[in-house]
């Protein structure tokens, strides 16, 4: 498969979750509390896309398979897209952005504080995702800026864990995957140094 | 709030449940036999469907003294969006899984500080008790709410019959626990069985009912068949489902959610928009079926009736 058709295929795959959600909306399949369902679904898909974006580099480390690297920008932007939908649903839910209620939440509810932080941290990444911005910032500075994604992911993980009522199994699996991806990166960066230290 | 006079129907006028069930059975059989001749297997299929739904029309339901004229939630919403963790954690799980629960025969153990402790058959307990419709708001601690037309009777009617002693300060309720019939209870999400409790004055309050039906029909399992508590001024988790035990105690019962996370779920759990859940706001709620959230009312709008129960109590401390 050429890069072009791979990109097109991945694009379609990335749009499917939102189309599926819209379809469920039109067929009255969102249950008794549709806004809650849309909030949950857009939230979980944001986290899945975040995991997919963050999996591309570790995949290259482990398999020397760099096919997906050119797709990272697109998958990353879809993460932002689903995060926007998630935030919009929340905003609309609160009487079309009742700022007092939202501010109260952002300040006083740790899980909302974390989620909001994770979302805000994605904004500069989305804004600087174009080739022109990479050139303007310079590769090194651009890369430094884009390390924000790790903080955003950490905030997202806290958001997921803290909003769970009692059963941490499901968020635990997602956050476990994130920790694994972080671990592979850390190993790649520091592992050999650490290994040479202990084996010497 | 629509206040209606209490029903003045004599208990002698009310057909005993066992008799009306028998009568229904007779009608069913007779109708089935007649129809069966005419339509072959078709009538049988219909009957089987009705039985799998486990629902029976409840006759002679009188309007109760308390109610609301707010629009009621649909039967579909009330029976498909449930928290009943013994059948799974997702809101749709109970409606998918609860059909496995056997609700007949059903006995309720009554013990503790009570003059008449016994294992009571539910039919014997309900004998002669007039059933009323009570349209109540139900506010879940998760900040959603519904309006539900329950069929039931005041809990005080039963308590008076059991004759609790002066030592009885609380009532503790227990939900049935059958691992073979309750897939969600195989995981230790909560310390099973589910336990809830009320202070005696809360239990005796005229708003507190035991429900055996909704929308004029017997309860479906996901709503707590065959008998459940409904305490409309408290968060929904207090209204314990499928009760198999009532124990009268001197000490405050250790309730399931309170044991799981004591800083999040108190014993009293009165609906209170000024005391937030540690993780989320309780200022507003979404009425299921409506698009926008609405403000949450003190004691779920029943403050005129129940506020006096908590005079002098710090509701921030006793949340």
Q: Note whether A153 and A101 are within 8 A (CB).
A: no
Q: What residues contact B165, with CB distance under 8 A and at least 6 apart?
A: B113, B114, B115, B248
- DSSP string covering B63-90: EPS----SPPPPHHHHHHS---GGG-SS
For residue B53, the model assigns a pLDDT of 54
- Closest CB to A105: pick one of B144, B281, B293: B281
- CA B27/CA B37 separation, integer angstroms: 15
CB contacts, 8 Å: B89 with chain A: 166-167
In a domain, B318, yes or no: no
In a domain, B227, yes or no: yes
For residue A54, the model assigns a pLDDT of 96
C-beta atoms of A109 and B281 within 8 A:
yes
Bridging pattern class, strands B243-249 and B294-295? unpaired
**Strand, helix or coil for residue B298:** helix
Residue of A nearest to B80 (CA): A32
Regions of chain A where pLDDT drops below 70: 95, 200
In a domain, B2, yes or no: no
**Strand, helix or coil for residue A13:** helix
For residue A116, the model assigns a pLDDT of 96
The model's pTM: 0.83
User: Which position has the higher pLDDT, B204 or B279?
Assistant: B204
Give the position of tokens 């009165």. B270
List, for residues B249-299, the tens digit of each pLDDT value.
999 999 999 999 999 999 999 999 999 998 899 999 999 999 888 999 999
Interface test with A, best of B82, B89, B194, B277 (most A CBs within 10 A): B89
Helices and strands counted in chain A (H then E): 10, 0
For residue A185, the model assigns a pLDDT of 93
Burial A81-118 (b: 16+ CB within 10 A, else e): bbbbbbbebbeebbeeebeebbebbbeebebbbbbbbb
- Identify residues of B whose CB sits under 8 angstroms from chain A CBs: 76-77, 80-81, 89, 91-92, 142, 144, 187, 189-190, 260-261, 276, 279-281, 283-284, 286, 288-289, 291-293
List, for residues B21-56, the tens digit of each pLDDT value.
444 444 444 444 433 333 333 333 444 444 445 688
C-beta atoms of A31 and B81 within 8 A:
yes
- CA A30/CA A134 separation, integer angstroms: 41
Going by C-alpha positions, the residue among B225, B214, B112, B105 that lies closest to residue B159 is B112
Q: How many domains does chain A have?
A: 1
CB contacts, 8 Å: A105 with chain B: 281
List, for residues B81-101, the tens digit of each pLDDT value.
999 999 999 999 999 999 999
Burial A122-142 (b: 16+ CB within 10 A, else e): beebeebbeeeebeeeeeeeb
Radius of gyration, CA atoms only, chain B: 20
The domain of A116 spans 3-198
In a domain, B301, yes or no: yes
User: Which position has the higher pLDDT, B57 or B22?
Assistant: B57
On the question of pLDDT at B240 being above 90, the answer is yes
In a domain, B316, yes or no: no
Residue B268 has which token pair?
């009293």
Residue of B nearest to A109 (CA): B279
CB contacts, 8 Å: B260 with chain A: 166
- Report the 10 Å Cβ neighbour count for A179: 11
Q: What CATH code is carried by the domain that includes residue B144?
A: 3.90.420.10
CB contacts, 8 Å: A165 with chain B: 142
Residue B125 has which token pair?
């307990």
- CA A38/CA B198 separation, integer angstroms: 36
Give the position of tokens 């909030």. A39
For residue A200, the model assigns a pLDDT of 63
Residue B248 has which token pair?
């009268």
- CA B91/CA B73 separation, integer angstroms: 16
Cross-strand pairs, B285 = B294
CA distance A134 to chain B (A): 40
CB contacts, 8 Å: B144 with chain A: 33, 36
Residue B130 has which token pair?
């007039």
- CA B40/CA B246 separation, integer angstroms: 47
- CA B291/CA B289 separation, integer angstroms: 7
* Angle at CA of residue B205, ends B200 and B207, nearest 5°: 140
Q: What residues contact A140, with CB distance under 8 A and at least 6 apart?
A: none
Q: Note whether B234 and B152 are within 8 A (CB).
A: no
In a domain, B4, yes or no: no
CA distance B153 to chain A (A): 28
C-beta atoms of A33 and B261 within 8 A:
no
CA distance B285 to chain A (A): 10
In a domain, B182, yes or no: yes
C-beta atoms of B91 and A166 within 8 A:
no
Q: Note whether B132 and B78 are within 8 A (CB).
A: no
Q: Note whether B298 and B273 are within 8 A (CB).
A: yes
For residue B24, the model assigns a pLDDT of 42
A194/B contact by beta carbon, under 8 A: no
The domain of B276 spans 11-46+56-310
Q: How many domains does chain B have?
A: 1
**Average pLDDT estimate for B128-143:** 96
Interface test with B, best of A91, A93, A166, A170 (most B CBs within 10 A): A166
C-beta atoms of B142 and A165 within 8 A:
yes
Helix pair angle (A3-26, A34-63), 10° resolution: 160
Cα dihedral B110→B114→B116→B122 (10° resolution): -30
């Amino acid at each position: 498969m050429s890069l072009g058709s791979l990109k097109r295929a991945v694009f379609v795959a990335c749009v499917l979750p939102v189309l599926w959600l819209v379809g469920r909306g039109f067929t009255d399949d969102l249950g008794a509390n549709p806004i809650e369902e849309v909030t949950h679904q857009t939230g979980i898909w944001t986290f899945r896309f975040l995991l997919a974006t963050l999996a591309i580099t570790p995949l290259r480390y482990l398999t020397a398979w760099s096919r997906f690297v050119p797709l990272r920008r697109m998958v990353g932007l879809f993460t932002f897209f689903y995060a926007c939908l998630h935030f919009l649903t929340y905003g609309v839910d609160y009487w079309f952005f009742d700022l007092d209620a939202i501010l109260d939440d952002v300040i006083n509810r740790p899980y909302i504080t974390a989620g909001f932080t994770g979302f805000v941290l994605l904004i500069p990444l989305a804004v600087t995702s174009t080739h022109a911005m990479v050139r303007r910032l310079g590769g090194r500075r651009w890369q430094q800026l884009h390390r924000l994604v790790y903080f955003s992911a950490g905030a997202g993980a806290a958001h997921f864990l803290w909003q769970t009522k009692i059963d941490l199994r499901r968020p635990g699996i997602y956050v476990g995957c994130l920790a694994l991806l972080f671990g592979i990166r850390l190993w790649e960066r520091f592992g050999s140094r650490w290994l040479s230290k202990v084996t010497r | 709030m629509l206040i209606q006079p209490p029903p003045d129907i004599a208990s002698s006028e009310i057909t005993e449940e066992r008799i009306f069930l028998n009568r229904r059975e007779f009608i069913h059989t007779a109708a089935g036999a007649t129809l069966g001749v005419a339509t072959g297997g078709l009538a049988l299929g219909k009957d089987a469907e009705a039985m799998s739904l486990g629902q029976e029309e409840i006759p002679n339901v009188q309007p109760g003294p308390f109610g609301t004229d707010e629009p009621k939630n649909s039967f579909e919403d009330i029976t498909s969006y449930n928290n009943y963790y013994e059948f799974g954690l997702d809101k749709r799980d109970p409606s998918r899984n609860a059909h496995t629960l056997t609700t007949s025969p059903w006995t309720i153990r009554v013990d503790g500080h009570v003059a008449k402790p016994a294992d009571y058959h539910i039919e014997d307990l309900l004998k002669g008790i007039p059933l009323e419709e009570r349209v109540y708001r139900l506010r879940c601690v998760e900040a959603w709410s519904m309006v539900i037309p329950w069929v039931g009777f005041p809990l005080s009617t039963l308590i008076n019959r059991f004759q609790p002693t002066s030592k009885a300060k609380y009532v503790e309720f227990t939900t049935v626990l059958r691992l073979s019939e309750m897939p969600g209870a195989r995981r230790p999400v909560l310390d099973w069985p589910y336990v809830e409790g009320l202070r005696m004055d809360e239990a005796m309050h005229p708003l507190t009912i035991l429900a055996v039906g909704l929308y004029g029909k017997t309860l479906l399992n996901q709503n707590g068949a065959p008998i459940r508590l409904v305490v409309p001024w408290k968060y929904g988790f207090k209204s314990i489902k499928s009760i198999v035990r009532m124990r009268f105690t001197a000490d405050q019962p250790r309730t399931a959610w309170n044991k799981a996370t004591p800083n999040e779920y108190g014993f009293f759990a009165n609906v209170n928009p000024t005391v937030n859940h540690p993780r989320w706001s309780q200022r507003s709620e979404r009425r299921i079926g409506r698009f926008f959230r609405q403000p949450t009312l003190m004691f779920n709008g029943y403050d005129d009736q129940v506020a006096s129960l908590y005079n002098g109590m710090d509701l921030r401390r006793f949340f």
